[in-house]
Amino acid sequence: MRSTNSGRAAMAILAGLLMITSSGFGVAGSLAGSEGDKRFPPYLNGDPKSPCTKAYKAYVAATGHSAYATTPYSRVVSLYILCGARLNAPSQKMAEELAMKSCLATRAHYKVTNGGACEIAASK
């Protein structure tokens, strides 16, 4: 006669593995609330009405591939901060490209010729 304890133990282990792998799929489905891959901490002045603060909060809240580009902040050089974002793009790479285009378009709109260049601060 075979022991039923070994069969139950095997079933418990398989059930546990199934729960672990299936919970990973649920987390990967939505990127909302994630700051993603931060390359450098973006400077946010704390004003909730600031366009860059709004853009960064929208980036974090986005459920799909998104990116946030900004000019790096330096106390010595930076008199302003420019930014751009792309939310819910088909891929992370495309989100980064479009966020850079948005930031560069902002620089062109304000005719900025000095200061820091646009860089991807975070993407997911």
Q: What is the number of domains present in the chain? A: 2
Instruction: For residues 46 and 88, state if they share a domain.
Output: yes
pLDDT score, position 114: 76
Are 41 and 67 found together in one domain? Answer: yes
Tell me: do 96 and 113 sit in the same domain.
Answer: yes
Verify that 21 and 51 share a domain, yes or no. no
CA distances from 21 to 3, 13, 18, 43, 47 (A): 28, 12, 5, 37, 41
Same domain, 69 and 99: yes
Tokens 């850079």 correspond to what residue? 100
Q: Could you tell me which of 88, 81, 86, 115 has the C-alpha nearest to residue 102?
A: 86
In this prediction, residue 112 carries a pLDDT of: 84
How confident is residue 2, by pLDDT bands cut at 50, 70 and 90?
A: low
| pLDDT tens digits along 105-121 | 999 998 888 777 899 99
pLDDT tens for 9-54 read: 655 554 554 444 443 444 456 899 999 999 999 988 889 999 999 9
CA dist 65 and 56 (Å) reads 14
Sheet holding 37-38, edge to edge: 37-38, 119-123, 65-70, 83-89
Residue 105: domain span:
37-123
Pair (66, 108) in one structural domain: yes
52 & 101 share domain: yes
Identify whether residues 63 and 92 lie together within a single domain.
Answer: yes
User: Which of these, 69, 60, 54, 64, lies nearest to 102 by C-alpha position?
Assistant: 69
Could you tell me the CA-to-CA distances from 87 to 22, 30, 34 in Å, in that order?
A: 27, 13, 13
User: Cα(124)–Cα(94) distance, rounded to whole angstroms?
Assistant: 11
Quick one: average pLDDT of 82-98?
97
Question: Is there a single domain that holds both residue 100 and residue 77?
Answer: yes
- Domain identity same for 19 and 49: no
- Burial class from Cβ neighbours inside 10 Å (0-12, 13-18, 19+) for residue 115 reads middle
Does position 102 have pLDDT exceeding 70, yes or no?
yes
